[in-house]
């Protein structure tokens, strides 16, 4: 199943040798991004083989007209798509009248592609023998500047190896691009202008709907060779510079292409081209090497706070760094209008939209590795969508300020229309509320509640109290017709996870009101007025629903039951499934999947993971022992949560086995789908499985840090760094001991296993490792 063609290295992803069959996978794996734009690892020069050309600009999307068989009331009108944007990396090379195209040349040798994660740069080299007999060596380097988020830079060199030759080099910008996933095969862009002069090209594009505009400008500088002609070329959608030159055998011709990409999110429409040109010429003045130095310095700082080191296992080391690298390329936290699509900028699947993945997976990662404002911006994104969430709930029949956040969104509107996901996966509302709590308990920023959080929590609590139904038969509140995180059963009643998170939201909203009342009573009055809260009546109702909510339980096994009807299903475990029918979603009918007991991803266990403090180890063990063998992990978000829980119950081997599935999911292409893009959001889960799984990091009593490290026998040592309430800690674990260093300016105290430890600022403590701590407790 796996595809392992990449070389293992601690800091680099390396592909050696050219195999066109791997090309689309590599286009995903070697993707680059800088939070504001992203680019798949497409070749600069022509490539006529299979490809997904992908260039994406953060926040620029298209409301593609929806496609459904049977329209139902309440369906969203559109499915938003991150737009495949004009191709700004292109550099065509023609050698003695033949186009350099690795799919067509007679021979490719010494092909190496390297993603240097330390510096954030993509490099490639090869020697190609063309059909006309000319042999050329090519090297390329490319990065999307972290320091200047509107700049991309390329250094491309060609050296004729066996003869002098005539070269035509054409750096260009091409606006004739299409989304692979367009519903009606339409193009999404109008190209408003395309202009070229000697070494410059520019293009102004506008989305056909919503009027996003993006200006592109390229400045190319060529060194080497004897230039005979420079010909600007332009048509309605294309602008480039055709440079003809003679190159001597052995002479290196270097093209430096500097590109400015400016979108209307950041500039007035009439300034887009001038701004893009300014970015490109400033970059050209600074020069490739200096740009790269400042970009690498940016990465150095990111790595300082987010790196995880694993000694004794290069594959694991490469895997975790790849995940950290991709997450930081996708979201930099500077703009609260942006969010994190499940595939980031590496493909079109999931439309680049925001899912609950952000709150449930990415926020824990960024909370502990990035400055506080990064997660605050992710929370404010949802705060700004509160009005739309209220409208969304109204469309479904809810009233009085009840808010249902969309399952899939770009601008706060729901833009997905599979009913079992759009309407039924209401648990996402809970993840959004929980993220507020998670942020506050990690940062201590209580003021967030009064500034933004409380309004969101009230809207969400109102939703849950209206969504619950009182069952006369059970004499309890029930929540009917939902899909839990396990998308392999729909329209179920009393999904344990959904009920659990609903109950928690109802309680937390009341608690949050009390906190704001204590800290800032005047602000509470303002909020009450603004959201028209009938404080006593409403909060009493919330309490009554929370206190009387029904939770299915299966006595015989002593487990929380995933949903009312779960035990009616034929009970089989995954080891009874033949590998030939995995993954189930590619072999079984949907009908069969829905009837089966197989679970796509953590569901009841997702709830136990979130509220672990409430359960003793035995309870967690029983639930894990029941559910994990029924779980097919067909969502990339699944193995990580299971790995964390396996470590929590002292089963380090199982934790490691599950960790391996998550850590190199894309690098080893476990699901044979990496060509569609990378699993960006689940990468955060991989990070969690080290820090929360092996590291045992928890926040307890809502404000205190706890660590309970264990280590897989395969590793000599691992270390990670976390931010917590203004402090900065480094944790190093080997087979004998745990060392914790406090890098912050103040001292810190935490619970290590069950012992309270104090660490002065700048100092470390060392304690023996208790690898089987949870096995015994
Ligand atoms: C998962 C969802 C997730 C979505 C986007 C689905 O396969 O089941 O939980 O939100 O992918 O990552």
List of domains in the chain: 33-304 (2.70.98.40), 371-551 (1.50.10.10), 717-776 (2.60.420.10)
Task: Please report which helix (H) or strand (E) contains residue 235, including its range.
Answer: strand 226-235
Q: What is the pLDDT of residue 218?
A: 98
Best CA proximity match to 664, nearest among 647, 639, 641, 645: 639
Q: Which atom of ligand 1 is nearest to 634's Cα?
A: 7
Residues 6 or more apart whose Cβ sits within 8 Å of residue 158: 93, 95, 100, 136, 137, 138, 167, 169, 247, 252, 253
Convert the pLDDT of each residue in 356-396 to its tens digit: 999 999 999 999 999 999 999 999 999 999 999 999 999 99
The residues facing 201 across adjacent strands are 196, 218
- Return d(Cα 324, Cα 308) in angstroms, integer: 8
Whether the pTM exceeds 0.95: the reply is: yes
Residues 6 or more apart whose Cβ sits within 8 Å of residue 431: 356, 359, 360, 501
pLDDT of 71 higher than 90:
no
Q: Which atom of ligand 1 is nearest to 356's Cα?
A: 10
Q: Which atom of ligand 1 is nearest to 428's Cα?
A: 10
Query: Cα of 330 to ligand 1 centre, how many Å?
Result: 18
- Return d(Cα 107, Cα 130) in angstroms, integer: 7
Q: What is the pLDDT of residue 77?
A: 86
pLDDT of 181 higher than 90:
no
- Return d(Cα 319, Cα 24) in angstroms, integer: 20
Residue 489 Cβ < 6 Å to ligand 1: no
Q: Which atom of ligand 1 is nearest to 350's Cα?
A: 5
Q: What is the pLDDT of residue 670?
A: 85
Q: What is the pLDDT of residue 422?
A: 84
Convert the pLDDT of each residue in 704-714 to its tens digit: 999 999 999 99
Residue 355 Cβ < 6 Å to ligand 1: yes
The predicted model gives 758-775 an average pLDDT of 95
pLDDT of 776 higher than 90:
no
Query: Cα of 354 to ligand 1 centre, how many Å?
Result: 11
Q: What is the pLDDT of residue 226?
A: 97
Q: Which residue, judged by its Cα, is nearest atom 12 of ligand 1?
A: 342
Residue 635 Cβ < 6 Å to ligand 1: yes
Active site residues: 487
Residue 171 Cβ < 6 Å to ligand 1: no
Query: Is 601 part of any known ligand binding site?
Result: yes
pLDDT of 51 higher than 80:
yes
Beta strands 98-99 and 107-116 are: unpaired
Residue 601 Cβ < 6 Å to ligand 1: yes
Query: Cα of 683 to ligand 1 centre, how many Å?
Result: 13
Q: Which atom of ligand 1 is nearest to 679's Cα?
A: 12
Residue 425 Cβ < 6 Å to ligand 1: no
Residue 356 Cβ < 6 Å to ligand 1: yes
For 751, the 3-state DSSP assignment is strand
The predicted model gives 641-655 an average pLDDT of 97
pLDDT of 76 higher than 90:
no
Most distant CA pair in the chain, distance: 89
Convert the pLDDT of each residue in 127-176 to its tens digit: 999 999 999 999 999 999 999 999 999 999 999 999 999 999 999 999 99
Convert the pLDDT of each residue in 541-569 to its tens digit: 999 999 999 999 999 999 999 999 999 99
Q: Which residue, judged by its Cα, is nearest atom 6 of ligand 1?
A: 635
- Return d(Cα 85, Cα 54) in angstroms, integer: 7
Q: What is the pLDDT of residue 248?
A: 98
Q: Is 93 exposed, middle or buried (0-12, 13-18, 19+ CB in 10 A)?
A: buried
Residue 694 Cβ < 6 Å to ligand 1: no
| Pocket test residue of 343, 352, 355 for ligand 1, highest count of atoms within 8 A of CB | 355
Q: Which atom of ligand 1 is nearest to 407's Cα?
A: 10
Q: What is the pLDDT of residue 419?
A: 85
Q: Which atom of ligand 1 is nearest to 681's Cα?
A: 12
Convert the pLDDT of each residue in 276-305 to its tens digit: 999 999 999 999 999 999 999 999 999 999
Task: Please report which helix (H) or strand (E) contains residue 303, including its range.
Answer: helix 288-306
Query: Cα of 406 to ligand 1 centre, how many Å?
Result: 13
Best CA proximity match to 143, nearest among 298, 322, 295: 295
Query: Is 357 part of any known ligand binding site?
Result: yes
Residue 668 Cβ < 6 Å to ligand 1: no
Q: Are the C-beta atoms of 346 and 669 separated by less than 8 Å?
A: no
Residue 681 Cβ < 6 Å to ligand 1: yes
Residue 487 Cβ < 6 Å to ligand 1: yes
Which token pair is 129?
């023998």
Size (the chain), residues: 777
| Pocket test residue of 80, 357, 409, 638 for ligand 1, highest count of atoms within 8 A of CB | 357
- Return d(Cα 589, Cα 5) in angstroms, integer: 32
Q: Which residue, judged by its Cα, is nearest atom 1 of ligand 1?
A: 635
- Return d(Cα 434, Cα 440) in angstroms, integer: 10
Residue 637 Cβ < 6 Å to ligand 1: yes
Query: Cα of 566 to ligand 1 centre, how many Å?
Result: 21
Residue 342 Cβ < 6 Å to ligand 1: yes
Query: Cα of 542 to ligand 1 centre, how many Å?
Result: 29
Query: Cα of 635 to ligand 1 centre, how many Å?
Result: 6
pLDDT band at 456; cut points 50, 70, 90:
very high
Higher per-residue confidence, 663 vs 608: 608
Q: What is the pLDDT of residue 69?
A: 80
Best CA proximity match to 117, nearest among 332, 364, 320, 343: 320
Query: Is 47 part of any known ligand binding site?
Result: no
Q: Which residue, judged by its Cα, is nearest atom 7 of ligand 1?
A: 635
Residue 485 Cβ < 6 Å to ligand 1: yes
pLDDT band at 661; cut points 50, 70, 90:
confident
| Pocket test residue of 487, 593, 665 for ligand 1, highest count of atoms within 8 A of CB | 487
Q: Is 689 exposed, middle or buried (0-12, 13-18, 19+ CB in 10 A)?
A: buried
Q: Which atom of ligand 1 is nearest to 357's Cα?
A: 10
Query: Cα of 357 to ligand 1 centre, how many Å?
Result: 7
Convert the pLDDT of each residue in 15-24 to its tens digit: 999 999 999 9
Q: Which atom of ligand 1 is nearest to 355's Cα?
A: 10
Query: Cα of 421 to ligand 1 centre, how many Å?
Result: 10
The one-character DSSP state at 600 is: S
Query: Cα of 460 to ligand 1 centre, how many Å?
Result: 21
Query: Cα of 437 to ligand 1 centre, how many Å?
Result: 22
Helices 638-648, 617-627: crossing angle, 10 deg rounding: 140
pLDDT band at 672; cut points 50, 70, 90:
confident
């Amino acid at each position: 199943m796996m595809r392992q063609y990449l070389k293992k290295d601690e800091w680099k992803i390396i592909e050696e040798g050219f195999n066109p069959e791997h090309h689309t996978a590599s286009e995903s794996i070697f993707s680059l991004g800088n939070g504001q734009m992203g680019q798949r690892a497409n070749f600069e020069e022509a490539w006529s083989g299979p490809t997904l050309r992908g260039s994406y600009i953060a926040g620029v999307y298209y409301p593609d007209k929806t496609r459904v068989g049977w329209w139902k009331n309440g369906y969203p009108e559109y499915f938003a798509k991150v737009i495949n944007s004009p191709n700004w990396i292109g550099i065509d090379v023609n050698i003695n009248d033949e186009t350099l195209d690795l799919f067509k040349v007679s021979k490719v040798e010494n092909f190496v592609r390297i993603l240097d994660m330390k510096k954030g740069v993509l490099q490639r080299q090869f020697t190609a023998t063309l059909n006309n007999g000319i042999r050329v060596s090519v090297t390329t380097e490319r990065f999307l500047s972290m320091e200047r988020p509107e700049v991309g830079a390329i250094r491309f060199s060609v050296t004729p190896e066996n003869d002098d030759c005539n070269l035509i080099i054409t750096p260009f910008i091409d606006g004739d691009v299409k989304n692979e996933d367009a519903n009606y095969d339409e193009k999404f862009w109008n190209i408003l202008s395309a202009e070229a002069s000697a070494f410059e090209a520019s293009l102004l594009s506008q989305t056909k709907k919503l009027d996003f505009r993006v200006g592109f400008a390229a400045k190319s500088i060529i060194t080497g060779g004897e230039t005979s002609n420079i010909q600007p070329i332009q048509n309605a959608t294309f602008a480039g510079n055709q440079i003809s030159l003679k190159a001597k055998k052995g002479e290196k011709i270097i093209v430096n292409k500097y590109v400015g990409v400016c979108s209307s999110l950041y500039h007035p429409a009439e300034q887009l081209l001038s701004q893009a040109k300014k970015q490109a010429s400033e970059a050209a003045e600074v020069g490739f090497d200096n740009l790269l130095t400042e970009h690498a310095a940016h990465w150095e700082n990111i790595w300082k706070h987010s790196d995880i080191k694993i000694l004794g296992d290069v594959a694991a080391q490469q895997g975790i760094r790849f995940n950290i690298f991709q997450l930081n390329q996708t979201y930099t936290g500077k703009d609260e209008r942006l969010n994190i699509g499940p595939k980031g900028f590496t493909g079109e699947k999931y439309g680049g939209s925001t899912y609950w993945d952000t709150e449930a997976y990415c926020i824990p990662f960024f909370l502990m590795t990035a400055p506080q404002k990064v997660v605050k911006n992710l929370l404010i994104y949802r705060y700004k969508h509160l009005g739309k969430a209220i409208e969304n709930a109204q469309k479904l029949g809810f009233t009085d300020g009840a808010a249902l956040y969309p399952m899939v969104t770009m601008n706060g509107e729901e833009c997905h229309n599979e009913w079992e996901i759009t309407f039924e996966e209401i648990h996402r509302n809970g993840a959004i509320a929980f993220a507020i709590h998670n942020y506050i308990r990690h940062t201590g920023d209580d003021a967030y509640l009064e500034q933004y959080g409380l309004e969101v929590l009230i809207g969400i609590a109102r939703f849950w109290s209206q969504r619950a139904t009182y069952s006369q038969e059970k004499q309890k509140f029930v929540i009917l017709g939902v899909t839990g995180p396990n998308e392999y059963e729909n329209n179920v009643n009393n999904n344990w996870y959904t009920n659990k998170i609903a109950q928690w939201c109802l309680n937390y909203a009341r608690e949050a009101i009390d906190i704001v009342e204590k800290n800032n009573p005047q602000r509470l009055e303002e909020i009450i007025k603004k959201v028209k809260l009938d404080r006593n009546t409403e909060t009493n109702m919330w309490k009554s629903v929370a206190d009387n909510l029904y939770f299915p339980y299966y006595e015989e096994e002593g487990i929380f039951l995933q949903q009312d009807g779960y035990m009616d299903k034929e009970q089989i475990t995954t080891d009874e499934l033949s590998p030939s029918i995995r993954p189930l979603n590619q072999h079984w009918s949907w009908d069969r999947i829905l009837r089966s007991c197989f679970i796509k991803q953590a569901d009841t266990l997702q709830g136990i993971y979130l509220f672990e403090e409430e359960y003793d180890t035995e309870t967690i063990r029983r639930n894990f022992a029941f559910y994990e063998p029924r779980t097919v992990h067909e969502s990339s978000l699944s193995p990580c949560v299971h790995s964390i829980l396996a470590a929590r119950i002292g089963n380090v081997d199982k934790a490691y086995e599950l960790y391996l599935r998550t850590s190199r999911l894309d690098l080893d292409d476990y699901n044979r789908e990496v060509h569609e893009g990378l699993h960006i959001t689940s990468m955060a889960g991989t990070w969690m499985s080290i820090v929360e799984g092996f590291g045992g990091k928890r926040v307890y009593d809502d404000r205190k840090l706890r660590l309970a490290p264990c280590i897989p026998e395969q590793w000599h040592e691992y270390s990670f760094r976390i931010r917590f309430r203004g402090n900065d800690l480094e944790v190093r674990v080997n087979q004998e001991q745990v060392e914790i260093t406090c890098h912050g300016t103040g001292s810190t105290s935490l619970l290590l296993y069950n012992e309270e430890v104090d660490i002065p600022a700048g100092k470390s403590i060392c304690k023996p490792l208790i690898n089987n701590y949870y096995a015994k407790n």
